Structure 1
Amino acid sequence: MEKLFLLVAVTMAASVSYETTGKCSPLSAAYAIESPEFRLIHFESDFEIRLYEEISWMSALVHGTSFQNSTKQGFHRLYQYLHGANRNSTHFLMTKPVLTTVIPSSRGSPPSYIVRYYLPVEYKSPPPPSAELNLQLDRWKGHCIAVRKFGGYAMDENVEKEKDGLVSSLGKRLKRVMQGVENRDYNYSIAQYNASKHPTGRLNEVWMDVSGFAAKGCPV
């Protein structure tokens, strides 16, 4: 059975440029924040499919009780890494998104969460974190992601609903992507691009890994 890994991405309404090649990247600006580049593969009114190249993350595993609390706990550890708690005392610039993967509970155990910081592309071999932070380097291979946008804050109360909305859209238009899915217990993630102090102009996205999507450039 093909596994679908769901990613819920909360993205800032940042300016991006769609070049003639279909490649997307942040617009050059004095205070631009680096994000993973992608290529637009397929577009519908309520979702799109993007091809992301290899991405590196520094990750913090949290055994928490909610998405919001676990994101705060995990990012606190990542924040220390960004501000020098690593072997070389390197200080990193902030990037986006901050991604929180939700691993549903099983057999009565509480859910787990993985909070991730996107590493700038210049750091091919980032310095190891301080041992007490208990962080892990994750490297994702290139893959396609289905994306659904929504506004406001990503909260414990609404991310599941938005994830279900993307699943429904894919089931109606791209049924082959959803073949083999028999339950709703997907791993999914919340990627946040806005600080909580910015209540307006927020743009959120639900991401779903659809690497099996039959489109040019998408890994099978």
Structure 2
Amino acid sequence: MKVFILLSVVALSSAAPQFEGVKNFFKQFSDSESDTEYVSEYVPYKTLNKTIDGDLAFEVREYAPMKWVCTDMTYDMDFAAIEKSENEDESEFGILNNFRQAFSGGKKKPSSVMFMRLFRYISGVNAQRQEIEMTSPVLSKMSPNKEAGQMKNRMCFYLDSAAQENTPAPEEDTVYLYTSEPLTVAVMEFGGYAMRDSVWMKKSAQFAEALGDRVNSVDTDSFYTAGYDSPMKFWNRRNEVMFQLKN
């Protein structure tokens, strides 16, 4: 199956002149545990405890206040369709669908629009023309409103140590600096591709259900998502869904 995917992606890249990351693709086409070559820092946190209960494994973390660069979007979602859809992003054939969408030139997903806003900022589209190293993970706070059929999404990049001290102001109106409050969360990790809101929604629902009575100690009105890997990394991917603990 891996050989089939490799040949398919090479064919896709050959058919798309805008695909400039082929050399990076071959660097990341491996079972490496992380993308340390491409990431300067990871968001710091403190693990308070870990729980393993049958098939459920999660941990409780504490994040200290820190600076982020963020952007917001509210967009329509068909929640009924999400509940009926299959987890195709998590299958190996789903990888090909992700590449087709990435290079098809069609309508951009909200998450892609948000990511590019933040990426422009760290690439130097800021008041000081300062380039900032890419960090990991990309963190989002997702707040579904099923009655209105909308998703409110806040996506953020953690600012590395240098930018924590010397933070350039954004130039785009849709991008802003944010200093987070102390945050304590219950975190479940999972693998595979999580490039669609439907995957995050399903994983958050699975996590909430698996918590059982413990779900009463967390806020499930919204949830955080953390994606650690480039889309060019196929296997051993790391994703996390988090619920904030109630005070």
Assess same fold via TM > 0.5.
Answer: yes
- What displacement does 1:33 show? 2.9
Q: Percent identity?
A: 23
Contact 1:47 1:169 in 2 (8 A): no
Cα offset, 1:32, TM superposition: 5.3
Structure 1 distance, partners of 2:145, 2:109, is 16
C-alpha offsets along residues 13-40 of structure 1, whole Å, 9 cap, x if unaligned?
Answer: 439xxxxxxxxxxxxx776531122222
Aligned length: 180
Structure of larger gyration radius: 2
Alignment of 1:1-220 (within 5 A): 13-14=33-34, 33-45=40-52, 46-65=57-76, 69-105=109-145, 108=148, 110-122=150-162, 123-130=164-171, 132-154=172-194, 155-172=196-213, 174=214, 177-178=217-218, 186-210=221-245, 212=247
Structure 1 unmatched ranges of 5 or more:
1-11, 16-28, 213-220
Q: Which residue of the partner structure matches residue 29 of structure 2?
A: none
| 1:26 aligned residue | none
CA separation in 1, counterparts of 2:153 and 2:71?
A: 8
Q: 1:202 to 1:141 in 2, by over 3 A?
A: same
CA deviation vs aligned residue, 1:28-70 (integer Å, no higher than 9, x gap) = x77653112222211112111111211221111123346x911
Higher relative contact order (CA 8 A, sep 6+): 1
CA displacement, residues 132-172 of structure 1 (integer Å, 9 cap, x when unaligned): 34211111122211110111011333222211222234334
1:79 partner SS: helix
Gaps of 5+ in 2: 1-31, 78-107
CA shift in 2, pair 1:30/1:189, >3 Å: closer
Contact 2:40 2:160 in 1 (8 A): no
CA distance in 2, matches of 1:133, 1:83: 16
Q: What is the RMSD of the two structures over their aligned residues, measured on CA atoms? A: 2.6
Cα separation, partners in 2 of 1:57 and 1:198, compared to 1, 3 Å = same
Contact (CA 8 Å) 2:138, 2:226: kept in 1 or not? Answer: yes
Q: Which moved more, 1:48-57 or 1:145-154?
A: 48-57
